Amino acid sequence: MTTRIDCQERDARDPLAALRDQFDLPQGVIYLDGNSLGARPKAALARAQHVIAQEWGHDLIRSWNTAGWFDLPRRLGDRLAPLIGAAAGEVVITDTTSVNLFKALAAALQMQADDPQRAARRVIVTERSNFPTDIYMAEGLSAWLARGYTVRLVDAVDELPQAIDDETAVVLLTHVNYRTGYQHDMAATSTLAHARGALIVWDLAHSAGAVPVDLHAGGADLAVGCTYKYLNGGPGAPAFIWVPARHQARFRQPLSGWWGHAAPFAMTPHFTATDGIGRALCGTQPVVSLAMVECGLDVFAQTTMDAIRAKSLALTDLFIALVEQRCAAHPLALVTPRAHALRGSQVSFSHPHGYAVMAALIARGVIGDYREPAIMRFGFTPLYTSFADVWDAVEILRDILDRQAYDVHAKRDAVT
């Protein structure tokens, strides 16, 4: 039987333990929601202060050149690239995940429309359980495009082989599911899509910084993702989009703003897309929020995704085992796959009073979150979560459940 001392001993041997000190974590909190909003790298405050006081306040407009503001989306994209198996010049950090998804999906549909063998394909395949904004953006784009597409929602992963057919233009999947923590086999699914003549767009919102991703080896065609979850970029920090070198010349998207122009300051009255990844850009980016993304990436540069994955699996294995041992008397059901290959870096349990139990946990300083229906999510972020944290979180959960110390009439908050 595992004890708290065992957990402390694992912490003592943990090669990532020292990185926790690079984050500002409040006293008395066990933060298991880095899958929704990553914790704050301590360096982010000084970085923002410098951008605000010096670059904006003192250097003013000159900072577009002297502080490299204009190059930030590309430069930070290059720093993110190794975490997702991308090459330099293939990623920009810009706009929101939703907006980048719109660009990626529009571009993928256009690539298919431009291919005489595939031009008749009119179906976008995705999962009903996908993060809703992915489905909404696909619906929105489909309804407005000249060619008229339909969005085909698949109810279970094992239906994908049947659903991806010779009508399918693009498959749009989130690599790690936001609710269940299920992780797709990227390479196998990309291979399946390509075998049927479809292109595949991957949403890495719950993957980047959470699990090893190799977009090239995984056969992805395009990808988007989020920097404010596992990458710790700050609340609402700009998202990213990946366009591999092999697709860049064919990549065209409707949000053809001046930042994607070949000569943005020539001020010509017709749009000519720049070469390379820059054509995924659109308008002026929020510099302060964007600059802080680098502080999260700086922490990742001190370790490897393999080391992070090893600890992530150890943390989630431990959490599952402890909950199932110590809370066995309660109606908790594991939603996340047990198989390592199918798991992201979160663990979800359902409970009939999931919302109320999560509210009680949060009141006791164990911060996870809740997603309909009845699911409690616990995100594990190896950069700052310890094995003792896992033990303590489970003990508090057990105490709440044993004493029924939750309000079954708790009303859901607006957001979390």
Q: Taking CB under 8 A as the criterion, which residues in 50-79 touch a copy of itself?
A: 51-53, 55-65, 69-70
Task: Give the β-pairing of 168-174 and 23-24.
Answer: unpaired
Question: For 176, phi and psi rounded to 5 degrees?
Answer: -120, 125
Of 52 and 245, which has the nearer Cβ to a copy of itself? Answer: 52
User: What mask of x and - would describe binding to a copy of itself in positions 364 to 403, judged by CB under 8 A?
Assistant: ---x-x-xx-------------------------------
Q: With beta carbons less than 8 A apart as the criterion, state whether 183 and 145 touch.
A: no
Which listed residue (8, 15, 144, 402) binds a copy of itself by CB under 8 A? Answer: 144
The reply to whether 102 belongs to the active site is: no
Question: For 346, phi and psi rounded to 5 degrees?
Answer: -135, 160
Of 168 and 289, which has the nearer Cβ to a copy of itself? Answer: 289
The reply to whether 196 belongs to the active site is: no
The reply to whether 411 belongs to the active site is: no
133 is in an annotated binding site: yes
64 is in an annotated binding site: no
134 is in an annotated binding site: yes
Contact status: 43 vs a copy of itself (CB under 8 A):
no
Residue in 10, 343, 377, 398 annotated catalytic: 377
How far apart, in whole angstroms, are the C-alpha atoms of residue 241 and residue 224?
A: 4
Name the helix (H) or strand (E) containing 93: strand 91-93
Structure tokens at 309: 């994955």
How far apart, in whole angstroms, are the C-alpha atoms of residue 166 and residue 158?
A: 18
312 is in an annotated binding site: no
Residues in contact with a copy of itself, counted by CB under 8 A, come to a total of 98
Q: Which of 26, 51, 52 is nearest to 39 (CA)?
A: 26
The reply to whether 228 belongs to the active site is: yes
CB of 263 to a copy of itself, least distance (A): 10
Scanning residues 171 to 210, which ones bind a copy of itself (CB under 8 A)? 179
Q: With beta carbons less than 8 A apart as the criterion, state whether 250 and 111 touch.
A: yes
CB of 1 to a copy of itself, least distance (A): 32
Computed from CA positions of residues 231, 318, 32, 95, in that sequence, does the dihedral angle turn out positive or negative? positive
The reply to whether 42 belongs to the active site is: no
How far apart, in whole angstroms, are the C-alpha atoms of residue 48 and residue 26?
A: 20
Question: For 189, phi and psi rounded to 5 degrees?
Answer: -75, -40
User: What mask of x and - would describe binding to a copy of itself in positions 293 to 332, judged by CB under 8 A?
Assistant: ----------------------------------------
Output the known binding site for pyridoxal 5'-phosphate: 97-98, 131-134, 174, 203, 206, 228, 258, 284
